[in-house]
Chain A
Amino acid sequence: MFDMTPNILRNFFHKSSTRLYPKETRQAFGNARGELYNEIEACIFCRTCARKCPSQCITVDTKEATWQCDPFVCVYCGVCVENCPKKCLHQKNDYRKPVTDKEIIFMKGETKKKKCEGDPQET
């Protein structure tokens, strides 16, 4: 009849199972796939990430040397990071913090003068 009582008593004398978020947060796991960022200086704007992305959240303009990502469309799968030929795309371990307005990550680099591998405009 009182089979749940031992569990309730155990919970009563144990520390809380929840945290006082956002005051108290758990440290992110080392392998977790979080926020995406681009080291724009190393980027060659080859568009591999935009082509491989299953949710099509990345837009790259080779001529203008711009890279933009809609973080609200990103599904944190990490496919772009794995396929980046220059290894300039990375994921942090932490997730993005909640925001009140939608925003697009916009980055502008320098147009490369010399021939770049994988650049469809110049090869």
Chain B
Amino acid sequence: MARTIIPFGPQHQVFPEPIHLKLVLEDEIVKEVVPALGYVHRGLEMLADVRDFHQMIQICERVCGICSTIHAQCYCQGIEELMGIEIPDRARFLRVIWAEIHRVQSHLLWLGLFADAFGFESLFMQCWKIREKIMDINEATGGNRVNPSINIIGGVKRDMNPDMAQWVLTQLDLVEKEVNHLEKVLLNDYTVKKRTVGKGVLTREKAMELGAVGPTLRGSGVEQDIRQIGYAAYGELAHRPVVGIDGDAYSRNRVRFLETLQAIALVREAVSKLPAGDISVKVKGKPEGEVVTRVEQPRGELMYYIKGNGGKNLDRLRIRTPTFANIPPLLSMLPGIELADVPVIVLSIDPCISCTER
């Protein structure tokens, strides 16, 4: 049969956000993929010209709704490095706690969306039901459900008293118990395996060559995670990246499921080691110079380039998000698979399009 071009997206029931893929098919088999991005570009980086560097925290937080705290943390970390600010130990641990709580909610959201991509509606609802507890933790500790807005330059703006920390741990115990109930379904169920095992294989070499990041990279067997460099308080916590072997959609699913449990364990450890003391230091002066700073988002490595000129506005802010890095690997996974498997493979990289287009 002659080649057919099928437009996949920008509006498609499997996509939470708009991305357009032109699929060149031959007898239901994908031969070539041409991506088109730019549907949700908001020009957030340009706002650095008109908002001062303190106000940019809230704007960076809104680059992505799902990993908002981690964006703000990365930005604050960069500005602190530029201005030579050493944040208190307690603030470093609190940043880890909120970042890991965010990772749990992001992974639960993805596990639900992934289940939805292959038509497992009850599993989707179950994952999102568990996620509600995390949203409550965000609201009770940070103040807001989605954008807790706790990071400031020089530390964090909210403390966690022992009672609150204990309540968070109790809630996380419940979350862990419910996530464990889903282990059999997510890792052993016939439907899940049938739709994911051997689909969208990304070999270790290819993942390295194309610069994959996060669970997409770790699912292909590469033990690489920015948390290994020990930013914030990760250097003082027992953390080892979760790695898959096969590099298929199932492997990426397994990595994210195990990372959810690992993130809960990291919160527990951070709470137990939480040092006493101040939560922020006073900031004086303006950022000058340039810096590149990295953190590990639920989707992978997030990179901020910040250039300050000694004034209240930044000269340049450039954000490289993990989905941007994972699009070339996605394009290499798709050729050779059936059209019906495309939604599952696309979802398996956890695409965050608003993030990518900023």
**Using a CB–CB distance below 8 Å, which chain A residues touch chain B?**
1, 3-4, 6-8, 10-11, 17, 29-33, 52-55, 75-79, 82
Min distance, Cβ B64 to any Cβ of chain A, angstroms = 15
Task: Decide yes or no: A52 and B55 within 8 Å by CB, A29-B139, A29-B140, A32-B144 being known contacts.
Answer: yes
Q: Is the CB of B143 within 8 A of A31?
A: yes
Q: Which of B85-123 contact A (CB under 8 A)?
A: 120, 122-123
Q: Is the CB of B140 within 8 A of A3?
A: no
Give the residue of B62, B142, B184 whose beta carbon is less than 8 angstroms from that of A3.
Answer: B184
Q: Which of B108-160 contact A (CB under 8 A)?
A: 120, 122-123, 126, 129, 132, 136, 139-144, 147, 149, 157-158
Which bracket fits the contact residues of B?
20 to 34
Further contacts, 12 of them, CB under 8 A, given A31-B140, A77-B58, A77-B149: A3-B185, A4-B122, A4-B126, A4-B185, A6-B181, A7-B181, A8-B122, A29-B140, A32-B143, A55-B58, A76-B143, A77-B147
Task: Decide yes or no: A33 and B58 within 8 Å by CB, A6-B181, A77-B149, A82-B157 being known contacts.
Answer: no
- A-B complex: 8 closest residue pairs judged by Cβ atoms: A33-B143, A54-B58, A54-B55, A29-B140, A3-B184, A3-B189, A3-B185, A77-B149
**Which chain A residues lie closer than 8 Å to B144 at the CB level?**
32-33, 76
**Which chain B residues lie closer than 8 Å to A29 at the CB level?**
136, 139-140
Which of B55, B122, B132, B142 gathers the greatest number of chain A CB atoms within 10 Å?
B55
Q: Is the CB of B126 within 8 A of A7?
A: yes
Give the residue of B51, B58, B126, B181 whose beta carbon is less than 8 angstroms from that of A75.
Answer: B58
